[in-house]
A and B are shown apart, each in its own frame.
Chain A
Amino acid sequence: MKLMLTCKQASQIISQSLDNPLSWSDRIKLKFHLFICNACTRFNQQLRLIKSAVQRMKLETENDDTIQLTVDAKARINQAIDSNHH
């Protein structure tokens, strides 16, 4: 097993770690790389920040009662319902 990752490889593994559990060997290699590499450590933090920030934007939109279907939009949807209903 080649222990040393390049920053490019490390960045790819970091992105994958947001989607799937890493293999045992990737986890060890990444840990080792992050221990010695500030740039990739910051990259790791950047991706996690982006993930939590977009989640937060999602919740803010979901909970914003001022965002509503317009009267026109409701009329359009009702019309679509009626023409499909009969």
Chain B
Amino acid sequence: MNKNVNDWLNDHGDYLYRFALARLRDPHQAEDAVQETMLAAIKSDSFEGDSSARTWLTGILKHKIIDLQRKQIREQPLSDLIDLDASDTSMDDFFDKSGHWLDKPQTLDMPENALEQKQFLSILSGCMDKLPAKLAAIFMLRDVHEVDNENICKELDITATNAWVMLYRARMGLRKCLEINWIAG
């Protein structure tokens, strides 16, 4: 069996790296994901000559990205995940006791002008960096990598409730951060 592993890296490495970077947002993790993909590809017998190597490699990479995000979440203390509802009051910070907004959400629009769009996206990116790592990881899996909820729960071994609480928190944090840094800025 002679697979042209070096050709794969030369022909598809940069593409796979961009694919991973777009979903992990960390150059080191993205490089790791590409490396893991290549190693898995060597060991695998599942490559059919009639499917394109890039499509096949991307399929492996998708799983490696989930593995890396899972690690990211697992490295957090387990108690953080279990006590999501109790330990952290940030969920209630946005509402008063009767469930009304403390600060009403403001209008956020994607600017039309290209330069302003760039600034908007860069502020959003900065806001993602500020999220707690585990919230960022699950947000990236769901809203960027577009893994469905059922698979997120299965892959991360968390309950549906945990998943939606974490996603809710991540989104609440992002929108607040955008309001502060974009509208006010």
Interface residues of A (CB under 8 A from B): 6-9, 11-12, 15-16, 18-20, 38-40, 42-43, 45-47, 49-65, 67-69, 73-74, 76-78, 80-81, 84-85
Q: Which residue of A lies closest to B17 (CB)?
A: A69
Interface SS of chain A: helix, strand, loop or mixed? helix
Q: Which residue of A lies closest to B109 (CB)?
A: A49
* Contact between A15 and B171, CB atoms less than 8 A apart: yes
Which one, B34, B124, B149, B172, contacts A53 given CB within 8 A?
B124
Known: A57-B121, A76-B35. A81 touches B5 (CB 8 A): yes
Known: A46-B105, A49-B108, A78-B6. A62 touches B18 (CB 8 A): yes
* Contact between A46 and B108, CB atoms less than 8 A apart: yes
Query: Is the interface on chain B under 10, 10 to 19, 20 to 34, or 35 or more residues?
Result: 35 or more
* Contact between B143 and A54, CB atoms less than 8 A apart: yes
Q: Which residue of A lies closest to B39 (CB)?
A: A84
**Shortest beta-carbon distance, B56 to chain A, in Å?**
16
* Contact between A15 and B144, CB atoms less than 8 A apart: no
* Contact between B9 and A80, CB atoms less than 8 A apart: no
* Contact between B104 and A77, CB atoms less than 8 A apart: no
Between A and B, 8 residue pairs with Cβ closer than 8 Å are A11-B172, A16-B164, A18-B167, A50-B124, A54-B143, A64-B18, A81-B42, A85-B42
Chain B neighbourhood of A20, CB < 8 A? 149
* Contact between B110 and A53, CB atoms less than 8 A apart: yes
Chain B neighbourhood of A43, CB < 8 A? 105, 175
* Contact between A39 and B101, CB atoms less than 8 A apart: yes
* Measured CA separation A15–B171 after assembly (Å): 8
Chain B neighbourhood of A46, CB < 8 A? 105, 108, 175, 178
Chain B neighbourhood of A56, CB < 8 A? 121
* Measured CA separation A74–B142 after assembly (Å): 29
Known: A62-B18, A81-B5. A18 touches B101 (CB 8 A): no
Known: A55-B144, A84-B39. A67 touches B18 (CB 8 A): yes
Encode contact with A along B14-32: 1 for CB under 8 Å, 0 otherwise. 1001110111000000010
Known: A7-B101, A57-B121, A58-B23. A42 touches B106 (CB 8 A): yes
* Contact between A45 and B39, CB atoms less than 8 A apart: no
Chain A neighbourhood of B14, CB < 8 A? 65, 67-69
* Measured CA separation A46–B21 after assembly (Å): 25
Residues 135-185 of B contacting A (Cβ, < 8 Å): 142-144, 148-149, 163-164, 167-168, 171-172, 174-175, 178
